[in-house]
A and B are shown apart, each in its own frame.
Chain A
Amino acid sequence: MKILTTVRRVPDLDARFSLNGDKTEIDTEALDHKVNYFDEVAVEEAIRLKEKGVADEIVSVCIGSGNATKELRTALAMGADRAILVEADEKTLDPYLVAAILAKLVEKEQPDLIIMGKLGVDFENTQVPQLLAGMLGWPQATFAYSTEICDSKVTVGREVDGGTSTFRLPLPAIVTADLRLNEPRFPSLPGIMKAKRKPLDTMTIEDLGVALEPRVKTVRFEMPPEREAGVIVADVAELIQKLRDEVKAI
């Protein structure tokens, strides 16, 4: 069985962000980047399935700038078998385009299962897996906290509002990883050394025959307003009054 995992390069969220001059972009140049945490969980899950003998090949894919080879090497160091970088300027992408690119790759790679992070921690769009499932016509199970594969079906425990639910999907299918699915391993030093020799192919969006036509246009970013100093209230009654009359929260 072949598993495709996606690996996105995201800025370190602890970093201090700034905007470019006309506020249409976040200045990410000087920021540290790392693998989107949910994607690490996805890769980890794929590796565990391989360790259980269920899967035999793990391919990790990243769509992003040339610098993202580092994030792909991280996936390889954890235990993925090979990696593909689809080179693209991240700022020109939107979820629909990413899904379209992935759909083309899936045609080429023919995986039996795609495991993706449930969202990207930077913009938290939570759209690509769902769009991809729609384009491919595959079943999907989002927000997984457990997976089990049996008889060409994947059983997925899911976190939903107010509880859990269980889906059983025929393969090929898409699963997105939630926090509780596993605790991703740290790439070991021997793993890092081995990753250097694992194949990492690079291709362009044009190679895949996808037209670069974004559907989302970024108009402007705004920094959240500076927090203003609070006020000290005399008692609960005053707090309630302020919440009701000034903040209009109740």
Chain B
Amino acid sequence: MSHYHLDRRDVEFVLFEQLQLEKLLNLPKYSEYSKEIFDMVLGEAQKIAMDVLAPMNEPADKEGCRLEDGQVKIPKIFHDAYEKYKAGGWVAPHAKVEWGGQGMPVSLYLAATEFFVGACTSFLFYPGLTASAAHVVELFGSDLVKKNYVEKMYSGDWTGTMCLTEAGAGSAVGDLLTSATPNDDGTYNVVGTKIFISAGDHDMAENIGHLVLARVKGDPAGIKGISLFLVPKIWVKDDGSLGEANDVTIPSIEHKMGINACSTCVINFGDEGKCRGYLIGKRMKGIVAMFHMMNEARIVTGAQGMALGNAAYQSALLYAKERVQGTDISNMKDADAPRVTIDKHPDVKRMLATMKAYSEGLRALILKSAYLLDMSESIDDPVEAARLRGVLELLTPICKAYCTDKGFKVTELAIQTYGGYGYIREYPVEQYMRDVKIASLYEGTNGIQAMDLLGRKLPMKNGMVFMNFLGVIGDFIDANKAHPVLGGAVLLLEKAKNKLGEVSYGFAMSGQSDPDYPMLHAVNFLEMMGNVVVGHLLIEGGIIAAGKLPDAKEGSSDAVYYSNKVKTAQFFATNILPGNDALAAAIVSKDRSALEIEF
């Protein structure tokens, strides 16, 4: 039996009943699409996930990657799957049609991505990074570079990477040492060593386009002096044909906790002084181009947390319904009482409900963010588009950090639900936990995300983006306070939202004089905001479900689904949202002990 179980019903609920994705069909950009196509895309994605990707998850994890004679070998089974994935057009379906994509809404693409990541996380790095890298080349590359690389990469014939990290430059990207010197022909000579590069080398495609951050010799220190380069593994001649190896070498690969079938490489550029690259975008504007990609990549990273959390929840749920242990609590003293499955025990129910609430909440957050991206890029009204972009920028660190931290938490709860069996390799949840942990580290650690939220996103437009966002949730609260079923949950949301507003106001007042203190609590603040954002989406979903419940046939799977959806919202509101009180209490305490302990 497959390790992977997906919840297509909830994906469809979020896409079609909550976000109402059909609204996109009215926009000229998506005129080629229809609801029927949306359904078919989800169906095909499910098939690829279940039939092609899921069977590789465990064996590929066991096999891992090897470095042989300077060439990275990835699990052989990936090769055939990659051909199928490519042939299906899945590498970059959201890319423009003129570049070989299908112009698919990102919301639909990410819904499909959930299935793929849940089925086989390690595999997804190769096409996923390729699509992101190609997008940067499309937006910022010269015409020649675009002509020679973009379609090749979007199709998956060549793959791509993002090379930021160096030994001395992790979170502090600006401290990088890789250098570039201009050549007479307009290319640059690139020299330096990057580490931890995902999908940095493999034997699955004939070429790799590395996007490398480096400093042109003489340009200023720090982040402002950085430029972005496209450095191919094999040089591509101007006519598009492949030339010689480009002095890009792999001295070693990492051995890791998880994502074992995704190669993580040290890459030497220009060991022999013969590595050439193209400048992408303007000189010293590398970080602008990179950030463009990071915003999307951060949502995709959040989707990784969401997908693995969901996979772990589904797995634990099935297990809990089958594992027989102990008796019903009311029969505890009776040695002959019938044995029950563990999903009957209240403490296991608590774990299942917690996993369900986070899993569905994270899904709603990721798909909603993707939907905002789709809308902001396709509507006519520039003012509304700018507003949506603002909301999306505000939500990006939350997508990244909250979804990966809570996704991890769900995988941990899934192991707890399994008991000892969860710790055993024979069951899939320990791999989910190993595979998801990386998501809170790369693409900017979650600590860095929290600082981004507090230091950069909150002050956007003098705090107006944040205030307007709270305003939208406030309107929702006002409209639904009297809801017959979820009115109480809405009031709990109001409390949590007000706490969030209060502490953000406190930060704004004290931030200038004492920068350490707000940063001490940046992660707590992000958690508070994540709770409010996800609480809002779950309650909104719950209210929609409550409205549909009377029309659902009694006892039908829809009736059960809607009724559970209402209760899930109620559970999150009662059990998670009050956490904001505790977090706020810590934040407003002004307690400085963590800053004062001598470590």
Contacts and interface: CB of A to CB of B under 8 A. Distances in A.
Interface of A: 29-30, 32, 34, 69-70, 73-74, 77, 185-190, 192-193, 196
Interface in B1-22: 8
B558 A187 contact: no
Contacts of B41: 189, 192
B556 interface: yes
Given A74-B40, A186-B47, A193 B32 contact: yes
Nearest to B52: A186
Interface stretch (B88-96, B242-250, B296-304): B88-96
Interface string B66-105: 0000000000000000001001111001000000001010
Nearest to A27: B556
A190 B102 contact: yes
B48 A196 contact: no
Interface string B39-63: 1110110011000100000000000
B475 interface: no
B557 interface: yes
B42 to A, nearest CB: 11
Given A34-B43, A73-B36, A196-B37, A190 B557 contact: no
Contact of B44 (A29, A30, A192, A196): A192
Interface of B: 8, 32, 34, 36-37, 39-41, 43-44, 47-48, 52, 84, 87-90, 93, 102, 104, 556-558
Given A30-B558, A74-B43, 11 more contacts: A70-B40, A73-B36, A186-B48, A186-B87, A187-B40, A187-B88, A188-B89, A189-B90, A190-B102, A192-B37, A193-B37
A185 B556 CA distance: 34
A189 B93 contact: yes
A89 to B, nearest CB: 19
Contacts of A192: 37, 40-41, 44
A231 B377 CA distance: 65
A73 B87 CA distance: 18
Contacts of A73: 36, 40
Given A69-B36, A74-B40, A196-B32, A189 B88 contact: yes
Given A30-B556, A196-B32, A190 B40 contact: no
B63 to A, nearest CB: 24
B89 A70 contact: no
Given A30-B558, A193-B102, A196-B32, A186 B37 contact: no
Contacts of B48: 186
Contacts of A34: 43
B500 to A, nearest CB: 40
A188 B40 contact: no
B84 A186 contact: yes
Contacts, number: 50
A73 B35 CA distance: 13
Contacts of B40: 70, 73-74, 77, 187, 192
9 contacts: A30-B557, A70-B36, A70-B39, A189-B44, A189-B90, A189-B93, A192-B40, A192-B44, A196-B36
A177 B556 CA distance: 36
A186 B36 contact: no
B103 to A, nearest CB: 9
B104 A189 contact: yes
A127 to B, nearest CB: 28
A187 B39 CA distance: 13
A157 B84 CA distance: 28
A35 to B, nearest CB: 10
A79 to B, nearest CB: 12
Contacts of A32: 8
Nearest to A32: B8
A74 B41 CA distance: 10
Contacts of B52: 186
B116 to A, nearest CB: 13
B564 to A, nearest CB: 15
Nearest to A15: B557
Nearest to B43: A34
B511 to A, nearest CB: 48
Contact of B87 (A29, A70, A188, A193): A188
A189 B89 CA distance: 5
Contacts of A77: 40
B44 A187 contact: yes
A34 B44 CA distance: 11
A70 B37 CA distance: 9
A190 B32 contact: no
B26 to A, nearest CB: 17
A165 to B, nearest CB: 31
A189 B32 contact: no
B209 to A, nearest CB: 22
B21 to A, nearest CB: 16
Contacts of B32: 193, 196
Contacts of A193: 32, 37, 102
A116 to B, nearest CB: 22
A34 B39 CA distance: 12
Contacts of A74: 40, 43
B129 to A, nearest CB: 19
A28 to B, nearest CB: 12
A193 B38 CA distance: 10
Nearest to B93: A189
A77 B88 CA distance: 11
A185 B34 CA distance: 23
A186 B34 contact: no
A176 B255 CA distance: 51
B88 A188 contact: yes
A237 to B, nearest CB: 31
Q: Which of B8, B40, B89 has the most CB of A within 10 A?
A: B40
Contacts of A185: 87
A187 B41 CA distance: 9
A163 to B, nearest CB: 30
Nearest to B557: A30
A34 B557 CA distance: 19
Q: Which of B43, B48, B90 has the most CB of A within 10 A?
A: B43
A189 to B, nearest CB: 4
A34 B32 CA distance: 23
Q: Which of A30, A192, A196 has the most CB of B within 10 A?
A: A192
Nearest to B47: A186
A9 to B, nearest CB: 13
Nearest to A31: B557
Q: Which of B8, B88, B558 has the most CB of A within 10 A?
A: B88
A193 B33 CA distance: 8
Which 3 residue pairs are nearest across A and B when measured between Cβ atoms? A189-B89, A188-B88, A188-B89
